[in-house]
Amino acid sequence: MSWNSSALSDPASDAGSTPAPALRLRQEFAGLGPEFHSTRAPLGLPGPRLRVVSEEAARLLGLATPDADRARCAQWAEMFSGNDAAARGGAISTVYAGHQFGNWAGQLGDGRAHLLGEALTHDPTQNGGHAWWEVQLKGAGPTPYSRRGDGRAVLRSSIREFLCSEAMWHLRIPTTRALCLVDSDLPVARERLETAAVVTRLSPSFLRFGHFEHFSHSGQHAALRRLVDYTVARLYPQLADHANPALGLLREAVRNTAVLIAAWQCVGFVHGVMNTDNMSILGWTIDYGPFGFIDAFDPGYTPNTTDAFGRYAWARQPAVARWNLLALAQALLPLIGDEQAARDAVEAFADDFMPAMRDGMQAKLGLGAARDDDPDLVQDWLDLLAACRADWTLSHRLLTDVVARPEAPPPAAFARQFAAQAQRLQDWLQRLRLRLSGLDAAQRAQRVEHMLRANPCYVPRHHLLQQAIAQAQRGDFGAVLRLHRVLRDPWREQPDCEDLAAPAPPDAGPPVLSCSS
């Protein structure tokens, strides 16, 4: 293990003002052995500019944010672009493999990610109480795993990853975090010429199903065992005494993934590229590419234009997650040793997913504990939303008003979503009213409270991201900063933010994105 504590010691602290703690990094993953990683240093960015910082993510590491202090902003920009010599000294990139769109893709690896090391958290109450947080640069230059890629990330996709991963965390959905975004005038060629940026990501681990697949399918079973032991010790210490740690690990991955996907479904998040190399062994959201939040509800919606058959569409995410878990089970089989036990562990996906999904929808609709007829009521609601292409986020949020004031007509903005099926809406609302008719005033108020915590007002809608990106590409980060601020509190209506809660304008068209980032 190597230590690097020189980075980010605050020059202001020498002058006697508030001292910022140094980012003290250790590089434990490298200790697993040379077959797990390579050490090509980040290239960094010319003329780096610090654009956005997540205060909450910085707090995790005990870092004081630089705010408007120019010297400290410059220091952050150097550090989190990969320019800082001390920080880049210990950087590694890891090797993994994966199944992409259902096909074995062979060896992949961090093609543009550099792991600087891991830092001890200063706030162990956050994010599941993980003690160590890996600090990773995305887009700081090529690695031995870049294949034909340039190792860069463009500003557009870096803004999307920064805003969405932080938004997801505030939506209480397990996710890697984004510490900051640094950009540069460095040109990067995609469908058109764009500019480069680096997002610094944090996670207790960036291990993917694909890491296990790599060592399994290349016959490196001793390394696979070391990887499983490392993962158990670090991420799943409750399995330390498990008779079959690989089986225990699989079972935990199944459980966490199932709960994650239920959360995605409920908030209308579509990942877009659920390849096994984009599936975290923690069961957290990772690798924000062509993701999308559903606006007009269509169960077959995918934001990814390269996904012609809708493999990763909203409705298919649970089945795909299970498929990916089967791939993980296959990879772990040499250690598990018992095919039936591995199969059973994956079959438990439904036992974890179904109740989580049920509870999520019960909360969104204000139904409380499930009753026999509730699955029909929920399904008919989903069918109605789909028939009307009603806005997912807005319809659920406004349903809270309907439940709060059962005697009043539904809000106009709500009714408008269902204009195509007005009678069907009335019939369904009648069933909902009947279902909730036994509640007294206090119980109803409590139900509404729960609904407000299950139905966000604000999500990173595609058209809002597009607007903010277009501005940022002209050098104005005002809209990015505004979105970041509002998405930190997605549950509460905020003043002067009606535009951020509104559906996409009709001429915006369905949000679609390519994989290029």
Query: What residue spans of 272-336 are helical by DSSP H?
Result: 317-336
Coil, strand or helix at 423: helix
8 Å CB contact between 3 and 28? no
In the complex, the smallest distance separating the C-beta of residue 138 from ligand AMP, rounded to whole angstroms, is 9
Retrieve residue 384's tokens.
């109605």
Site string for ligand AMP, 284-303 (x = CB under 6 A): ---x-x--------------
**Is 277 an annotated catalytic residue?**
yes
Q: Should residue 201 be labelled a site residue for ligand AMP when binding is judged by CB under 6 A?
A: no
Active-site residue, from 277, 287, 295, 307: 277
Q: Which of 75, 278, 400, 455 binds Mg ion (CB under 5 A)?
A: 278
Using alpha carbons, select from 291, 89, 80 the residue that is nearest to residue 198. 80
| Distances, alpha carbon 334 to alpha carbons 214, 331, 339, 342, in Å | 13, 7, 9, 11
Using alpha carbons, select from 191, 160, 164 the residue that is nearest to residue 177. 164
- Closest CB to Mg ion among 260 and 432? 260
Q: Where are the beta strands (DSSP E) in 323-416?
A: none
Using alpha carbons, select from 330, 454, 443 the residue that is nearest to residue 392. 454
Retrieve residue 90's tokens.
């210990």
Retrieve residue 242's tokens.
């498990």
For strands 93-94 and 49-53, give the pairing. Answer: unpaired
Q: Which does 141 bind (CB under 5 to 8 A by kind): ligand AMP, Mg ion, none?
A: none
Using CB positions, name the residue nearest to Mg ion: 287
Site string for ligand AMP, 93-122 (x = CB under 6 A): ---------------xxxxx----------
Instruction: Give the interface segment with Mg ion, choosing from 131-139, 212-220, 238-246, 281-289 (CB under 5 A).
Output: 281-289
Size of the site for Mg ion (CB under 5 A): 2
Specify the amino acid at residue 127: N
Q: Should residue 354 be labelled a site residue for ligand AMP when binding is judged by CB under 6 A?
A: no
Site string for ligand AMP, 120-149 (x = CB under 6 A): -------------------------xx--x
In the complex, the smallest distance separating the C-beta of residue 152 from ligand AMP, rounded to whole angstroms, is 5
**CA 88 to centroid of chain Cα atoms:** 26
Q: Should residue 150 be labelled a site residue for ligand AMP when binding is judged by CB under 6 A?
A: yes
- Closest CB to ligand AMP among 39 and 126? 39
State the Cα–Cα distance between residues 154 and 65, nearest whole angstrom. 24
In the complex, the smallest distance separating the C-beta of residue 137 from ligand AMP, rounded to whole angstroms, is 12
- What one-character DSSP code corresponds to residue 236? -
The DSSP element (H or E) to which 117 belongs, if any, is: strand 113-120
Q: Should residue 160 be labelled a site residue for ligand AMP when binding is judged by CB under 6 A?
A: no
Q: Should residue 273 be labelled a site residue for ligand AMP when binding is judged by CB under 6 A?
A: yes
Alpha-carbon dihedral sign for residues 47, 52, 55, 57: negative
Q: Which of 10, 287, 295, 391 binds Mg ion (CB under 5 A)?
A: 287
Q: Which does 344 bind (CB under 5 to 8 A by kind): Mg ion, ligand AMP, none?
A: none
Contact footprint for ligand AMP (CB under 6 A)? 108-112, 145-146, 149-152, 273, 277-278, 287, 289, 515
Q: Which residues are designated catalytic?
A: 277
Q: Catalog residues that contact Mg ion under the rule CB under 5 A.
A: 278, 287
